[in-house]
Structure 1
């Protein structure tokens, strides 16, 4: 018997010897401890390992969140699970403690725009991204998104040469507070918010917004092409 299986066999999930109230409090403590110790969102199937078979994990989390009201952190549903996160009002304090500036680890405008395109049209190749923007999307830009864990290599494209495609990751969902890609705004909502121009999209290209790009276009001195590296 493996160590993990032995632990599962000896761990008392049901707590049948406790009163209903004490049992519920113990389940709340277990779930909170697991979330506190986790660096990534924790899915339901993992949390179900520490509570009884008939325990409603959502109700346990609701009760924990009630008790966390007024605290500088909360439990949020992201990327198909739950995660403890600092409340937005305390973000500046956390960045100051880490020695980060006001910008912190925010994405540049070009990185964000490329990430939006990947999120909506994945799996998508770099050449297809370039066609949307009407200018070359640099390898460095895609590499930065991959290094941040927001983008990963997808399936090979059926195009000649079988180029790699790119897709978003669970870290993308977690960073932007989505439980799944179904929560992305639709094209009409993005157009109303001024983030996409549907007419340009249907015409076959997303040009960089007017007035952006010229001040940072020289960031890649080794490139002989005009690239979407820093809009």
Structure 2
């Protein structure tokens, strides 16, 4: 590699700052002509994260890759640029999403059994349109009902790398969670 460490970090920084979506390690490897080892790329990302520590942005790893994001203390100021009210979701939507996130893959029948009420098709449509859930297959029983699971978009929107980072179910039961994204 003929480029200096600083030049490599500058290339990564420019790509990450200008990308509208998180960049995967594979995406970032394509930035460079010569093959870069994933370990080297991770080391550069860790250094870049450290470089930005005292600044206004954090370099985060989420499910679909890496992205820069404003530090939480700046969110109220940035929200003034887009004064739209955040989307609010009904209790039914949030309960359904929680069931899918913690019990996936599940069918509508599974969700109805857990919630004790029928799942309105609009609830499922809302979650699919938001990109938080998707059909991942069919259960091998009569009628072959669709199986639902969360998506990388769901994880990205919650700044999670994997489902293992979800808070324990007991924590959610003890407090009412309001998801405003």
Task: Please tell me the TM-score bracket, short chain as reference.
Answer: 0.7 to 0.9
**RMSD between superposed Cα atoms in Å:** 2.1
| Alignment partners' CA distance in 1, 2:172 and 2:164 | 20
Shift of 1:194: 4.7
Gaps spanning 5+ residues in structure 2: where?
Answer: 177-181
Q: How does 1:93-112 map to 2 (within 5 A)?
A: 93-101=77-85, 104-112=86-94
Question: Whose Rg is larger?
Answer: 1
Shift of 1:148: 0.8
Task: Check 1:183–1:40 CA distance in 2 against 1; reply closer, same or farther (3 A cut).
Answer: same
Task: Check 1:112–1:47 CA distance in 2 against 1; reply closer, same or farther (3 A cut).
Answer: same
Q: What is aligned with 1:138?
A: 120
Q: How does 1:161-200 map to 2 (within 5 A)?
A: 161-185=143-167, 189-191=168-170, 193-195=171-173
| Alignment partners' CA distance in 1, 2:150 and 2:69 | 21
1:71-98 CA-to-partner distances (Å, cap 9, x unmatched) read: 3221101004211112111222222211
Q: Is the 8 A contact 1:41 1:81 kept in 2?
A: yes
TM-score by length of 1: 0.67
Q: Secondary structure at the match of 2:30?
A: helix
Q: Does 1:70 align with 2:54?
A: yes
1:100-127 CA-to-partner distances (Å, cap 9, x unmatched) read: 23xx135443322211110122221112
Q: Does 1:81 align with 2:62?
A: no
1:157-209 CA-to-partner distances (Å, cap 9, x unmatched) read: 22321122211111011011221223334xxx322x2527xxxxxxxxxxxx9
TM-score by length of 2: 0.84
Q: Does 1:45 align with 2:26?
A: yes
Task: Check 1:105–1:89 CA distance in 2 against 1; reply closer, same or farther (3 A cut).
Answer: farther
Q: Which runs of 4+ in 1 moved over 4 A?
A: none
